[in-house]
Structure 1
């Protein structure tokens, strides 16, 4: 009872408070000339500090110009001002105060804006048949009213000013013509946008006719409309023909558009087709597009070989069968696969190129059953009916057996049943010890998107001959190899081979993602993918992926730079050559950034030198494609090259093209120092604190100030203040042009990093000359226009701004790319600190 009484008293007090809250002043209606000031006011009584909100046409107004004036302790007045009234400021305004969920509103008021007329209905482009009449409409309003409208057509005035709205009747035109209208009132004259009358004509032929997702049975065809003739396209007609030479024309297909695509079904496998398209609008049809050819991929054969017979003599068993027709084969015949069963046990299958097989030792095949299937690159077709070999009175009997169950399952597949066997031609067709079929991408366990991207660059392992090792890394090695083409020509290549002890599908997928990125790269300064191959491993379910790349005669740039000053036979690299190296890298990186690729591991060690001494950006193991936005956030524990990573990437694990620019500046420093390790004397764990204080890499000896200024601009703490790669190209090209070319082009020496027996060359000479760690850092602050106030703090040099990232994990790579163990790290072999500390990484936990 006491609780209920308390609640009642609170409610009475609340209602009493509500009744005491009110607006004592409401905004008043105002008519304002365009460009002048308008001011509205409200006053509210009953609260000590009310929050009075202004609304326009039901939407809250967020303004910094709102003022409050206290009239007494519980009485407040507020104003809302518009300094220069425009047409969009016209509307209904009022005030609101919220009190315990209840809204208290003032009376509304209207701001009416007087000025030159504004258009309510403005002229729009018109499409019409030649000579056909049509109407044009224009409407404008004030205030002040009245408003009158005048039409202009083809540069001529049509009639006089008439009250708005005004419709112009046009009897018809034969050519394209422009039109607009004028509107006037007491304040002045307004001119509308200019419209165009287009004459409807037949469309032009479709563009970009492309074939996607070709399978053995269907394709997806897409195209873009050409010039539509100023009339909406309604249908498109597709013509398809099959076969080379005298082609067989298939029935036309009419497609309602949009969308501009169509799926063709019922096509034949491993066949040539051509397609062309025309489209129709209400005027007529376009010409046909040029023919576009495509080839459907192979499929496993649809039928089993027929007439399977045998002949048995004392010396051998001869099996023969009829060859398949091309329509049944559905691809290029790789081999015939013969499987046999004896005593209920399946034997190793045999492979034969021809449709006859001769097996020695006929006696061992008594009471054996045989089946044969044809195989293409896509797999093997159904098995033939089984044949039982039995010697009777010197004659061979042909007998068909029913399927027999064994401990391994059904010994024979039913006739016409597809056998899910993927098969690639073996290196040779040894009848006694046949080689196993090659692996396909299906056996790797990678995702379907990655598999689809790599399918058309898969190269048979039998075409590769591996040679000497060029280098080793954490996940595998790089080997020299010879790649033979189908016409028996060949080329020298480099092959990246994943370690044999890696069995995880995720590791294999990560390796192949790099190849998928490279598949679409076509630039002289970006290494291109030749293909992907799969190495079959004995007793292993998952094959080893091999990424096939062009052979780079002069190896990686970092090793080349080191050898120019530390090798057995040091050589001079002119400043012009060094700038050319930088230009090549910048051009490659600009291409990658245009492809929305963030490299994330740009360094001299990941740039390769070809036989023409051009630099190619390589090693895309850490690269990421940006599908939306302009940055990528690292989300897991990764081993990353700390001394090349941008400040914001160390702090937040955010990577952008601008963080690649930072790494490019470090790479420039590597080039100018001929391969020295960045930040000599600074540990990995100290890098972040070193950079946050404003410290940067020192100017190398013999490095001109203008080159150092460019690399220093890459290390601005504000990413947007760093130059773009295109800007870097422009700056480096100017520097390169200033250098006078030598009268005689001195040939560059190729430094052979191996002796004849393949051992690493020794006797490298240590070079001193690095800057003292106490030398002053760059004293000129970074300049950047258009940055936010809170970003300017990054441009100030300050100390103690953040803690260094903990941990110090290293790995050492020798100039040949193979790992150096701890025992050899401290040997007195004369290696400079540059080689022993060539790379340092830190594990970053996110």
Structure 2
């Protein structure tokens, strides 16, 4: 039995090596590497005429344009995978795959373990408690290396000694709100968690606004915006309603569960005045009531017909009279009484009278006619009275009169039936008059009296209406701004997905225009699992900014549509934008360098990209708009290869002064943020100029990640020392000087966008259409020991030796501003304050740390807005 098993194994080996004709002679080895150091894996295969080895990581291919092969002997090849600066995201399982004649073989796997500062897997979360109530806080961080210890800080004071991770501390209770965080330490360093807040639960505030969304005859739809929740979830709201008739009548209170903060209140009377107010409860108790809001229910058609219809007939005239309809039955203001009569089985023209009587001349012509009357309000006419048959009192003897009366009654009943059938047909064929039209509309030869209504109400139950901006719960200002760009969902046909992110997705779509033509558009669709008005309002703010933009280099809003979802209170907003054939600029640049079919972009084309962005940003700055997130990923390329500035999710309009101060710490892409913005959260047009300089660097490197090898948490310290992005290979000196001028530490010394346009136009004009005859020579600017001149091409001269001729100097600088230009240990004091740097492991994981043409397309592309550092 053992002998047979051995032969099977031998046959399998022969099958692998002999039949397939190739096998791996070397597999990668396990590595444990310190974060930031270089890692290298090797792999060798024998039996291939040409090398075709692919590196895999966690089941995905690793793309590289600088993979090299070493010939060990004939048909025996070796290759390596190198990571210049290992990061946490590089940890994982690696192996090689080779393919020949449709057969794929894999090497043995190896694992890269990255040692670095601790990585938080559980961070402290905000808590809300009652005063003095005990609570627990949790924090957990992992290496490698292990062990990891955790230290807690509450209210700026260390709480206890270091303890092993994971850590849970019990706090006996507090009476005031405090901040807290935890520090994690291992052999490689210290990481600091997010800062949480302990909130004290209090009573909620009154609802800020109560709106009457829709009023019908017997119900009203109310919507309200809750006030401050008191750091506790709102559980229910109480609605009080008063009927303001001759005396105020208080209706039973309505208790409704929330959310949603919208309710339909039924059981109301039509054509009545009401007042409503609302309060909401959390677990602490009820809020104060909102202010009273008044509304009036619309009129309805009368509920009863006029009674006691009688007549008097003479040779000269016919007189009709009837009892007035009671006010409670009228359900509105009486507009007229409508008299309908029938003679010989044919309906005659209807008559309208203001009073409860009618005098018709020529009594003889009404002999054997039947009459009915109904009351009418602006909402329409009510039911008809019982028909009466008109006959003269002296037409025959009494006994004959009585017989004819019965005959007349039977005839009248027959005629009334026919009239009723006819009226039923007419009612179905003619729509009810609306509040904005005339009360009675001509039909056929029937003569009507017309009058205009002050308000309208449709008795018919309408079809389910399309969603409106009123149903989103957004602010009045935003709703008003977007009202005239709202597009019906019926005009949109969604196609395949173009991209996906945190906010939702971008889909190709077709929009039907007024002339029945179809336009190809792009639609940003918010995530369907987002159900709060706040998230929806944040999405629509970008659309509001774009509405007023009219510039060829700024993407323009086409419209906003609302996708109604079954069994969901809030619709999904969809922002409709022009279709951009070539996508975002960052991906386009990456594909030109690292795509499956790389292509060449001329220097003229790259400078044209820069010019398009500068013109778009100059237009935005003229509109007092600060973009705050300018980068190649937020610029789009249309079918004409024109760049349009896009993605205004972080934009702010400034109304006074020339700066905007970030109110709270935000998640922002630090590698594009200006030095002063990192220091104190101040954003200006000059900070957009800084980001523009970084974007030029992205364009010249065809989409590389800025500051390769520099951690996100180290960016501020890197910049304050005077370091800047290095001159890319094949980048002309004049273009580098333009981008470098954007990074002056003194904001007012940076060029304006108009000046940048002028400079770039000069570069573009001077470019030769043909290739350069002589190669450009470049100087390695990373000279050891250089300080002030690092990255600037100057030596560390003193201020006296330079005469303040240091980079970025400009006219009108203050003395304290010159401190920013000096690279010394006192540079941080020029800003003032003590800075604590907090390393965000998630941000570090997003930083690919790759540089040069050997970068990884997937790794370059994944560095987006997640690349953040938080400064306190």
**TM-score (normalised: structure 1):** 0.50
In 2, Cα distance between equivalents of 1:250 and 1:271: 13
Q: Deviations over 1:677-701 (max 9, x none)?
A: xxxxxxxxxxxxxxxxx9xxxxxxx
The residue aligned with 1:368 is 369
Partner of 1:142: 143
What is the match of residue 119 of structure 2? 118
The C-alpha deviation readout for 1:460-495, integer Å capped at 9, x for no partner, is xxxxxxxxxxxxxxxxxxxxxxxxxxxxxxxxxxxx
Q: Which residue in the other structure is 2:577 paired with? A: 631
3-state SS of 1:720 partner: strand
Cα deviation digits, residues 238-271 of structure 1 (max 9, x gap): 2222225742221112212222222222322222
**Cα distance in 1, alignment partners of residues 140 and 206 from structure 2:** 39
Cα distance, 1:251–1:214 mapped onto 2, change above 3 Å: same
Are 1:108 and 2:32 counterparts?
A: no
CA offset at residue 427 of structure 1? 11
Residue 187 (1) aligns with residue 188 (2): yes
Aligned equivalents of 1:417 and 1:149: distance in 2? Answer: 78
Distance 1:409 1:382, change over 3 A: closer
Name the Cα RMSD after superposition.
Answer: 5.2
Q: Answer whether contact 2:34 2:116 (CA < 8 A) is retained.
A: yes
Contact 1:182–1:191 at 8 Å: present in 2 too? yes
Taking a change above 3 Å as real, the CA distance of residues 168 and 427 of structure 1, as seen in their structure-2 partners, is closer
Shift of 1:326: 3.5
Q: Which position in structure 1 is the counterpart of 2:644? A: 720
Structure 2 residue matching 1:358: 3-state secondary structure? strand
Q: Using a 3 Å threshold, how does the CA distance of structure 1 residues 421 and 41 change in structure 2: closer, same or farther?
A: same
Corresponding position of 2:316: 315
Instruction: Tell me which residue corresponds to 2:302.
Output: 301
Greater RCO (CA < 8 Å, at least 6 residues apart)? 2
TM superposition shift of 1:435: 3.9
Contact 1:204–1:228 (Cα < 8 Å) also in 2: yes
Q: Does 1:257 align with 2:249?
A: no
SS in 2 for 1:307: strand
User: Is there any run of 5+ residues in structure 2 with no aligned partner, and where?
Assistant: 1-13, 470-478, 485-540, 552-556, 562-573, 584-607, 609-617, 624-639, 659-691, 704-759, 766-872
C-alpha separation between the residues in 1 aligned to 2:346 and 2:467?
38
Whether the aligned pair in 2 keeps the contact of 1:67 and 1:80 (CA below 8 Å) is no
| In 1: Cα distance, 2:148 partner to 2:481 partner | 62
Distance 1:335 1:277 in 2: 40
1:97–1:327 distance in 2 versus 1, CA, 3 Å: farther
Q: Compute the displacement of 1:69 (Å).
A: 4.8
Structure 1 position 18, deviation (Å): 6.3
Q: Assess, with a 3 A threshold, how the Cα gap between structure 1 residues 29 and 352 changes in structure 2: closer, same or farther.
A: same
Q: CA deviation at 1:626?
A: 3.6
Distance of aligned partners of 1:41 and 1:222 in 2 relative to their CA distance in 1, 3 Å threshold = farther
Alpha-carbon distance in 2 for matches of 1:54, 1:332: 84
Give yes or no for contact 1:206–1:223 (8 Å, CA) kept in 2: yes
How far residue 278 of structure 1 moved from its aligned partner, in angstroms, is 1.5
CA distance in 1, matches of 2:374, 2:315: 26
Q: In structure 2, what is the equivalent of residue 410 of structure 1?
A: 421
**By how many angstroms is 1:172 displaced?**
0.7
Tell me by how many angstroms 1:522 deviates: 12
**1:171, distance to aligned residue in structure 2 (A):** 0.7
- Confirm or deny: 8 A CA contact 1:369 1:387 kept in the other structure: yes
Q: Give matches, 1:727-766, under 5 Å.
A: none
Aligned to 1:171: 172
Q: Relative to 1, partners in 2 of residues 1:71 and 1:241: Cα closer, same or farther, differing over 3 Å?
A: farther
Shift of residue 170, structure 1, vs aligned partner: 0.8
SS of residue in 2 equivalent to 1:402: helix
Q: Is the 8 A contact 2:203 2:282 kept in 1?
A: yes
Alpha-carbon contact 1:405-1:411 (below 8 Å) kept: no
Rounded Cα–Cα distance in structure 2 between residues aligned with 1:292 and 1:351: 38
Q: Is this contact kept in 2: 1:368–1:389, CA < 8 A?
A: yes
Flag the 1:311–1:243 CA change in 2: closer, same or farther, 3 A.
farther
Could you tell me which runs of 5 or more consecutive residues in structure 1 were left unpaired when the two chains were aligned.
1-12, 455-518, 527-590, 602-622, 634-647, 655-693, 695-705, 735-783, 798-846
Q: Give the whole-Å Cα distance in 1 for the aligned partners of 2:327 and 2:549.
A: 47
CA contact 1:592–1:598 (8 Å) conserved in 2: no
Conserved in 1, the CA contact under 8 Å of 2:559 and 2:576?
A: no
Contact 2:342 2:370 in 1 (8 A): yes
**Paired residues of 2:439 and 2:452 also in contact (CA < 8 A):** yes
Cα shift readout 1:797-822 (whole Å, capped 9, x = no counterpart): 9xxxxxxxxxxxxxxxxxxxxxxxxx
Q: 1:175 to 1:321 in 2, by over 3 A?
A: same
Question: What secondary structure is seen at the aligned counterpart in 1 of 2:644?
Answer: helix
Q: Distance in 2 between matches of 1:139 and 1:346?
A: 88
SS in 2 for 1:88: helix
Equivalent in the alignment of 1:422: 433
Whether contact under 8 Å (2:558, 2:576) holds in the other structure is no
Identify the residue that residue 44 of structure 2 maps to in structure 1.
43
Aligned to 1:202: 203
Q: Secondary structure at the match of 2:365?
A: helix
- Cα displacement (A) at 1:314: 2.7
1:517-575 deviations in whole A, cap 9, x for unaligned? xx96899xx9xxxxxxxxxxxxxxxxxxxxxxxxxxxxxxxxxxxxxxxxxxxxxxxxx
1:354-400 alpha-carbon deviations (Å, 9 max, x no partner): 22222111211111111222222222222222222122238998959
Tell me the SS of whatever aligns to 1:217. Answer: coil
Shift in Å, 1:599: 11
Does the 8 Å contact 2:543/2:560 carry over to 1? no
Shift in CA distance, 230/313, structure 1 to aligned 2, threshold 3 Å:
same
1:200/1:432 Cα in 2 relative to 1: closer, same or farther (>3 Å)?
A: closer
Contact 2:17–2:23, Cα closer than 8 Å, also in 1: no
Cα pair 2:301 2:376 within 8 Å, conserved: yes
Deviation of 1:177 (Å): 1.0
Query: 1:466 maps to which residue?
Result: none
Give, in whole Å, the separation in 2 of the partners of 1:149 and 1:48: 56
C-alpha offsets along residues 56-104 of structure 1, whole Å, 9 cap, x if unaligned?
Answer: 3334444555545555675444433322222222222223346687653
Distance 2:480 2:135 in 1: 51
Check the 8 A contact 1:386/1:412 in 2, yes or no.
no
Corresponding position of 2:379: 378
Structure 1 residues 353, 409: closer, same or farther in 2, change over 3 A? closer
- TM-superposition CA deviations, 1:129-185 (whole Å, max 9, x none): 111111112222222222111111112222211222222111111111111112212
1:207 and 1:422 map into 2 onto residues whose CA distance is 37
Alignment partner, residue 755 of structure 2: none
**1:271 matches 2:272:** yes
| Equivalent residues in 2 for 1:535-684, closer than 5 Å | 594=544, 625-627=559-561, 628-631=574-577
Distance 1:596 1:74, change over 3 A: same
Q: With structure 2 as the length reference, what TM-score do the two structures score?
A: 0.49
Distance verdict in 2 for CA 1:114–1:346, change over 3 Å: same
SS in structure 2 of the partner of residue 410 of structure 1: helix
Please show how residues 152-551 of structure 1 align to structure 2 within 5 Å: 152-244=153-245, 246-393=247-394, 401-402=412-413, 404=415, 410-411=421-422, 421-422=432-433, 424-425=438-439, 434-435=448-449
| Residue number in structure 2 paired with 1:662 | none
Query: Partners of 1:50 and 1:297 in 2: how far apart?
Result: 83
Please say if residues 205 and 286 of structure 1, whose CA atoms lie closer than 8 Å, have aligned partners that are also in contact.
yes
> Do the aligned residues in 2 keep the contact of 1:344 with 1:406 (CA within 8 Å)?
no
* Structure-2 change in CA distance of 1:592 and 1:313 (3 Å): farther
1:7 match: none
| Counterpart secondary structure, 1:39 | strand
Change (3 A) 1:199 1:432: closer
Q: Aligned partners of 2:391, 2:37: CA distance in 1, in Å?
A: 112
Q: Secondary structure at the match of 1:328?
A: helix
Distance 1:205 1:358, change over 3 A: same
Instruction: List per-residue Cα deviations over 1:112-138 (Å, max 9, x = no partner).
Output: 111222222211111111111111122
DSSP-derived class of the 1:94 partner: strand
Alpha-carbon offset, residue 345 of structure 1: 0.5
Alpha-carbon distance in 2 for matches of 1:318, 1:451: 51
Counterparts in 2 of 1:147 and 1:252: CA distance versus 1, 3 Å: same
